[in-house]
Structure 1
Amino acid sequence: MSLFWRMFLSNALVLVIATALLMGPWVTVSNPVLMREVLVIGGGLLALLVTNALLFRLELAPLKRLTRAMTDANLQEPGQRIRVIGRGELAELTETFNVMLSRLEAERTASSGRVLSAQEAERRRVARELHDEVGQTLTAVILQLKALTDHVPSALREEVVTAQETVRDSLDEVRRIARRLRPGVLEDLGLTSALRALVAEFSRPGVSVGHQVDSSLPALDAEAELVLYRVAQEAMTNAARHSGADRIHIELRAAGTRTVLLTVRDNGSGLVGTEEGTGIRGMRERALLLGATLTLTSDDSGGTTVRLRVPLPAEGAA
């Protein structure tokens, strides 16, 4: 029965009962109206209003639950669905909302995948240009300054050597940026070697970076390895640059037969009072591509723990 007919018939039933009471010998009205008749009619009106209120609340409760679920829906936390109760228009509306939510999640995942793929392609292009164009130009400048050192007066030789060292430092910085944009180690040697190179990159005086990689990791495809690497890179960047941490630990291990767990811990300032920036939102977008679960927590003593739980496809589990 539709919502309209349920509400109409419930009100009609209340009105029929009230009419029958008025027409029967149980309720009579005098002229002028007596006080006891006023009490009877007022009590009947109150009962009618209460009954209608209860019936409306009962019938519209699923709508309230659906509204609350629509308000709380978050595409960054997929899988949230409303339980369909009963049949009729409200059940159809709930089912339609669940279907719409599934479609939005699929479209968001697909669009995020296209955006991230384009971003990775742009990273590779910029890294290649930095390495081939800027890197070669700076190398040529270093060679020219080195050749010039033997022909300048001794009073200027120290300045030329200083300029040569400055250009060499700039070349090292360009190469470092190119490696961060395009992880060649990941493509050539795999995820384990790429994570070790990442640990070596972030290790510096005053910052201790440790790592533990499970030697029995299941086989991962290129997309999963790239997501794991980028999340680890972003988590370590946040820890080193923004949280003031001096200890960072990264761990990659198998959590069961069909799940890989990446954990990055630091002893920095934590997440209290901070808002999610583009880096964390980027990590969540990458996690959605794999159907992975990303959680960020802070300890009571400070520090942040980033966990990425990546499920393996059926063929990978075997």
Structure 2
Amino acid sequence: MSLYWRIFVLNAAVLVAAVLLLLGPVTVSTPVLFGEAVVVLGGLAAMLVANAALLRVGLAPLDRLTRAMTAVDLLRPGSRTRVEGPGEVAELTTSFNAMLARLEAERATSSSRALSAQEAERRRIARELHDEVGQTLTAVLLQLKHTADRSPEPLREELRQAQEATRTGLDEIRRIARRLRPGVLEELGLHSALRALTTEFTTSSLRVRHVIAPGLPALDEATELVVYRVAQEALTNAARHADAHEVGIHLCDGPAGAVRLLVRDDGAGIGRAAEGAGIQGMRERALLIGAGLTLGAGPHGGTEVLLDVPTSRTGEGPR
């Protein structure tokens, strides 16, 4: 029986019972006596209470499905609504679960294409920064040095200051190019790239240390890039937003044979702040390789980022 007919039959039963009572032992005279008014009003209250209870019981599966729809997050896949209730509600829940599975698959596909295009664009920009802008600044630096060597002393000092400014800009461009295109990752592998990240983010106010467990299974290139980008984003958040003084990067064995990346800082923590584009980007990258990503407070405060990569993402050999 459909939900509509169930509610109709239950309400009709209540109304028929009320009519039978009025035609039988319950009568109403004119003017209405006090006892009759009490009986009629009591019957009305009983009908309303019964109707409310029946509607609540009948529509409870729809309420649960509505709450599940509101709480859906495609960046946290895998949640499904339990199929229960009458036939129409069960079919609606089943259809919703199937639709959610399709949306998750389409989101993963579109995210993969977008991130692949993003990485290609990063490589192009890094190459242009290195080949075009870098070479131009190098030529300017050499020209400034040549001019300074032939200039009088008062002008020479100003040219040397221009040299230092140009050299600083050239170093910054090279640093940006390295972040856009991790050449160390492509040439030497994930372990060397994580060590390079540790050196890059270590400053006078931030100490970054790394611990890489021996004997870890190798990962394929796409997975190594995801692990590297998650570590890079976690370090960037710790350096820019967390006011942290110490960050630890651990690459070790995870649960069920997975490879785990753990980034933990001693900063202010996430709290109840909304997740920004950086964290959402980490979640999308984790979805691409079927990895589990968890962000939360560390055991002693700060922020802890956990990325568990399944062993199916292994490569051909150690790097």
Give the TM-score of the pair, scaled to structure 1.
Answer: 0.90
CA distance in 1 between partners of 2:52 and 2:215 (Å): 63
- Among all aligned residue pairs of Structure 1 and Structure 2, give the percentage whose two residues are the same amino acid: 62
Question: CA 1:119–1:2 in structure 2 vs 1: closer, same or farther (change >3 Å)?
Answer: same
Between 294-303 and 69-78, the greater mean CA deviation after superposition: 294-303
Whether 2:7 is the aligned partner of 1:7: answer yes
The Cα shift of 1:33 comes to 4.7
Classify 1:30/1:222 alpha carbon distance in 2 versus 1 (closer, same or farther; 3 Å). same
Distance 1:287 1:267 in 2: 24
Instruction: For residue 218 of structure 1, report the CA deviation from its aligned partner.
Output: 1.7
Give the equivalent residue in structure 2 for 1:78.
77
Q: How far has the Cα of 1:102 moved from its partner? A: 1.6
Q: 1:280 and 1:298, CA in 2 relative to 1: closer, same or farther beyond 3 A?
A: same
State how many pairs are aligned.
316
Alignment partner, residue 140 of structure 2:
141
Stretch moving more, 29-38 or 229-238: 29-38
Distance in 1 separating the partners of 2:83 and 2:273? 37
Question: Which has the larger displacement, 268-277 or 125-134?
Answer: 268-277
Q: TM-score, normalization: structure 2? A: 0.90
1-side partners of 2:140 and 2:313: how far apart?
A: 54
**Residues of 2 paired with 1:158 and 1:30: CA distance?**
114
Is this contact kept in 2: 1:245–1:266, CA < 8 A? yes
Q: For 1:33 and 1:151, how far apart are their aligned partners in 2?
A: 118
Q: Which letter does structure 2 place at the counterpart of 1:282?
A: G
C-alpha contact (below 8 Å) 1:258/1:313 kept by paired residues? no
User: Secondary structure of the equivalent of 2:133?
Assistant: helix
What is the CA–CA distance in structure 1 between the aligned matches of 2:223 and 2:298, rounded to whole Å? 28
Tell me the distance in 2 between the aligned counterparts of 1:251 and 1:87.
50
Q: Matched residues in 2 for 1:165 and 1:48: separation?
A: 88
Would the aligned equivalents of 2:297 and 2:303 in 1 still touch at CA under 8 Å? yes
Q: Unpaired segments of 5 or more residues in structure 1?
A: none
User: 1:177-231: CA deviations, max 9, x gaps?
Assistant: 1000000111111111100011111112232111011222222122211111111
For the residue of structure 2 that corresponds to 1:294, the secondary structure is strand
The answer as to 2:112 corresponding to 1:113 is yes
2:150 is paired with a residue whose SS is coil
Which residue of structure 2 aligns with residue 41 of structure 1? 40
Q: Distance in 1 between matches of 2:297 and 2:274?
A: 13
Which ranges of structure 2 fall in alignment gaps of 5 or more residues? Answer: none
**Contact 2:122/2:180 (<8 A) preserved:** yes
